[in-house]
Amino acid sequence: MTKSNAPPRKGLTIYQKCLVAVALTTALVAGVVTFNAASLLKDVARNGLQDLAIAATEGVAADVSGAIKFDKPDILSAAMLGIQKQMGDRLVGGQTFNAEGKPGVVLGQPDADTSALFLVLAKRAIASGQIEKDATGMFVASPALFGEKGALVGAVVFQWSSAGLEAAYGAQQNRAFLLAAVVFVTLIGLVGWYLNRSLKRPLTALAEAVERVANADFDTEIAGKDRRDEAGQIAQALDIMRHNLRMAEEARRQQEQGQADQALVVERLSASLRQLSAGDLTARLPADLPFGYEELRDNYNTALERLGSVLKSVIDTARRIESSATEISQQTSHLSQRTENQAATLEETAAAMDELHSNVRSAATSTQEVESIVHSAEAEAAKSGAVVESAVAAMQDIKRFSGQISTIIGVIDDIAFQTNLLALNAGVEAARAGEAGRGFAVVASEVRALAQRSSDAAREIKSLINGSAQQVERGVELVSNAGEALSKIVGRVQNITQLISGIARGAGAQSAAVGEINIGVGQLDQVTQKNAAMAQETTESCMALQAQSRNLAEMVAVFRIDGTGASRLVRAA
């Protein structure tokens, strides 16, 4: 750190500035106080003189009111001279006036202006009946009141002067100024002594300490650190700054040493990088680098070793890439040929699948037509089954009605039998009656014959009805068998319908599947053709990759690795 050689500046010191400031402040305060005191004393004197003038003028006016009323000049003159003798130089002159404002006895030698002012004030006092005075308060006029009733008989005017009082107060003021000057000088001396002890000495010591610090003297202790005022705070701050500057100086020296070490390291590193830029990977940082750069040296040397290993790996990889690219190119060429053959085969397969799809679609259409016909047959069979069921129901009704007719005929037969019995009984009774019952016997015989014929007819009808019932029962059985046969036929037709529907759906699904297969075969044909083109492009890419790997090996050949040129490794590869 450089030392401070700046010349000291000329001018007042802080001590002198403080002393001058205290002196000016004290003088200003003393001057203001003294001036205010003098003004106050002067005002007090003038006010006191004015009060005295009013009281004296009013007293004289009261004393000489009788002399003014009765025009006694001798008494007036004696009174005027007496008050002048009593007041001394404070009373300059005066004059009396009667009630009409006529001038009377004059005290002193007033000039024309003064006399005119006396007259004006007298008239004012006579007019107002009160004390009157001018603007200065030194001309006072008092009305003269005579008797117990206070009759206004005139006025007395006096001219007063404060010159004597001001002269006396001036002498006192001069003595006060002299005393203030003595006190001021004494105070300045005491303040100077105090400032010298509490300000100048500490500041001088601080200035010397600052100069030492500025001259790079960081070992000398700073005085005054134990003080409890601002100087102590400055000394403490300066001591902290001294320690900081000493540490900064040490840091600067260490930095300079570090910069020198860094310059050496940069020089060695630059030399190694020049060799590296020339392709020499054997360049290493030496072991005599400064302390603290061992990690840099190890990392740099390790990086070069790894870079050499990477370049070797790159050479080996380039060689393997070139070999693999050659093999891939050959295999891709074979693959391209096989793909072209496969494309031709797929094209033929696509044509065959297209024809198969047309046939399957035609078969599906025919199956759908058969399904429609079978559905119609199923509907007709269902209708026939319904008719047979209706016939069976009708035959059952006929059978039921035949049974009811047989029952009715049995009732008729019973009626005929009962009628025959009744006719027989009637014939017996007619025979008993003799000749009288002969006619009744004839009727009974006819009724019996009729009942016999009815019974015979009923037996014949019953026989016929029984035969018809047997035929109806047989017809019902046949119709039932026909209905069952038709039901079975309807069931078979329904099964056939379901089978044909399944066949139709299968044919449709088969047609759709064949169509999808046909589309897939077409897409496969396109993909195969694209694969053939891609195989050709892959062959070309493999050839380009082979050339690029050869170029990579030639670019790496410029490096020198472990005393062996990379070009030698490339040729060996």
pLDDT along the chain (573 residues), means of 10: 51 65 72 65 71 86 87 88 86 90 88 90 90 89 87 91 73 74 82 72 70 70 68 72 76 76 74 72 71 73 74 72 72 70 72 72 71 71 70 70 71 74 73 70 72 74 73 71 70 71 70 71 70 72 74 67 54 52
Q: Is 108 helix (H, G, I), strand (E, B) or coil?
A: coil
Write down the pLDDT at residue 120.
92
Helix (H) / strand (E) element for 143: namely strand 139-146
Place of tokens 């000398």: 220
The residues near 193 (Cβ < 8 Å, ≥ 6 apart) are none
- Walk me through the domains of the chain, giving residue ranges and CATH numbers: 14-198 (3.30.450.20), 296-561 (1.10.287.950)
pTM, two decimals, is 0.31
Phi and psi of 98, rounded to 5°?
A: -85, -175
Write down the pLDDT at residue 44.
67
| Encoded amino acid at 531, one letter | N
103-107, strands of its sheet edge to edge: 103-107, 91-98, 151-160, 139-146, 132-133
Write down the pLDDT at residue 569.
46
- Residue pair 231/202 in contact (Cβ under 8 Å)? The answer is yes
Q: Is 146 helix (H, G, I), strand (E, B) or coil?
A: strand
131: alpha, beta or left? (left if phi > 0; alpha if psi -120 to 50): beta
Q: What is the DSSP string of 402-456?
A: HHHHHHHHHHHHHHHHHHHHHHHHHHHHHHHHGGGGHHHHHHHHHHHHHHHHHHH
Write down the pLDDT at residue 514.
64
Q: Is 364 helix (H, G, I), strand (E, B) or coil?
A: helix
Write down the pLDDT at residue 140.
93
Cα-to-chain-centroid distance, residue 223: 58
Number of H helices and number of E strands within the chain? 10, 7
> What percent of the residues of the chain are helix, what percent strand, and what percent coil, each to the nearest 5?
80, 5, 15
Write down the pLDDT at residue 11.
59
What residue spans of 222-293 are helical by DSSP H?
230-277
Q: Is 311 helix (H, G, I), strand (E, B) or coil?
A: helix
Write down the pLDDT at residue 301.
72
Q: What is the DSSP string of 11-42?
A: S--HHHHHHHHHHHHHHHHHHHHHHHHHHHHH
Write down the pLDDT at residue 570.
47
Write down the pLDDT at residue 109.
86
